[in-house]
Structure 1
Amino acid sequence: MLKLKIFLLAILFVGSTYLGVQGSVLANTVVQDEEFTILDYLSDIISSKESDELVEVPQSSKELEPEPIVYKVTEGDNLYRIARNHDISLDSLLAWNGLTGELIHPGDELIVSGDGELVETAAPAKEKIAVSPSPPPTVSNEKELLVTATAYTAYCEGCSGTTAYGIDLRANPNHKVIAVDPNLIPLGTKVWVEGYGEAIAADTGGAIKGHKIDVFIPSYDGAMEWGVRKVKMKVLN
C-alpha cells in the first residue's frame, strides 16, 4: 500500500513538471510570435510614414538670365562707334545706360547688351529744311567765339557720310553736327551756333582751321542757302 502511494506521488510530480515545462515553452513561443508580429507592424507603419513625407520638389523651368555685357570706354571712343561695334542701335545704348547726351569719358562703363534691342524708327525722307535762329542757352562759364561758318552735306564730293566722331549722317540726317578744328574745339564738345542752334562738334575738314566751322545741313539747297556767314558760337561744355 505504501509503495502504491509513493508511485502515484512520483507520477503526479513528473506530470506536473512536464506540464510546467511545456507551458513555459508554449508561452515563450506565443510571446516571441507576438513580438515578431508587433515589430513587423511597427516597421510597416514607419516605412509608410517616411514614404508619405517624401515630397518631390519640382525643378524650376526658369533659366538664369545672362549677365549684361559691360564695355569700358577708352580714349577716342564715341557712342556711335561703340554701338556699331557691338551690333546694337544707338537708342538701345542710350536707354540701357540712362544717357541723355552723347558725351562720354575714358573709363566710363557702358552696358552693351540687354533683353531686346530697341527698334529704331525709319529716318524721314530728306527734304529742304529752314534753319531758324534760336536764342543761346544760358550756361555758366561758357566760351564765346566769333567764327566763319560754311555748310556741307553728307553727299559732298569726297564725303563718306560718316563723321570723324563716328556719326553716320546719311542714316541720321536730322543730327545737328559741325566740323571744327580739334585743336581749338575738341571733338564731342557741345556748342551753340548762331542761326543753327545747339550742335555737337563731331567732324573735321581739311579747310577747317582755327576760327572756321562747317555746319551740316541735310539738303544741298539748304547748304547753298546757308552760304558763308560770320556767326557767334558758344562752347557749352
Structure 2
Amino acid sequence: MKKQIVALTVIAALSVGAAGQASASSVHTVEKGDTLWSISKEMNVTVQDLQSWNGLDSTVIYPSQELKIEEMLETHIVVLGDTLFDIAKQHNLSVDELMERNQLTSELIHPGDELVIEGTKKVVHKVSAASLPSVNVSNTTAKTSAPVAAKTSAPVASTAKELTVTSTAYTATCEGCTGITATGIDLLANPDQKVISVDPSVIPLGSKVWVEGYGEAIAGDTGGAIKGNKIDIFIPSKEDAINWGRKTVKIKILD
C-alpha cells in the first residue's frame, strides 16, 4: 500500500513559540480486497469518519477510488531565539528525532517556521472494490465473524467459473465451536482471514473464491447444512454476521 502526503493546513497555534495543531490529508492506494471496514481498522478511525470525510452516503467503494483521511499533528511555531535543541528538550525529543519528523537536513531554523512535534493519524485512501461488512450466523465447523464489504468488484478472470449461490454467515465464537476450520485455519487467532464454508463437491476446498459483497476468500471450511450451491461466510462479529442474513450472491471460483 502506498501513502502520499497531499496537504498540510494550519488549524490553530495556541501561542507564538508554543505547541499548536495542524491537520493534514493523505492519499492511500488500497489494494484488491480492501473494504471501508478494513481501512478504518488499519488507520484507527471509524467507517463513519471515512464516509464523512469523503461525502459517501453508502459503504460501497471501487478500485482506484481516492478516499480522504484526516491527520492531526502537534506543531511548534518557531520564535526568535528558539533552537532545535531547546524545542526538542521542551517536547522530550532528541534533536535527531525532531529533524527526522520534519525532514530537516540542517539545524538551521527561522522564526515563523512550523515544526511537527507529533502526529496522530486519521488518513486519505484510494480503494479497491469494497464496503462495510455484514453477516449472519449459521452452523459450520468453525465460527467467527469478520465484517464483510457491502460490495466488491468482480475480478477479471476469463477462466473463472461463475455460480449463483445462497449465502449465510457464521462466527467462530458460538458455544461448542473450536474456531478451527476443516482445513486447519484458526479463525480465533486470525479474525481478519476471509474464509467461506462450502460443499467440496461444488467448490473444492482450498480454492480461491471471489464472493459478491465480501471479496476474495479461501474455501477453507465445510458444514453439515452447506450442500450444493450454498456457502457460509466467516465474519468476526456476531452482529455483523446476523446483519448479513441469507442472500443470493454471485461468486467466481478463481483457482
Which TM class, normalised by the smaller chain length? 0.3 to 0.5
User: Whose helix proportion is higher, 1 or 2?
Assistant: 1
User: Whose strand proportion is higher, 1 or 2?
Assistant: 2
TM-score (structure 2 length as normaliser): 0.42
Structure having the higher Rg:
1
TM-score (structure 1 length as normaliser): 0.45
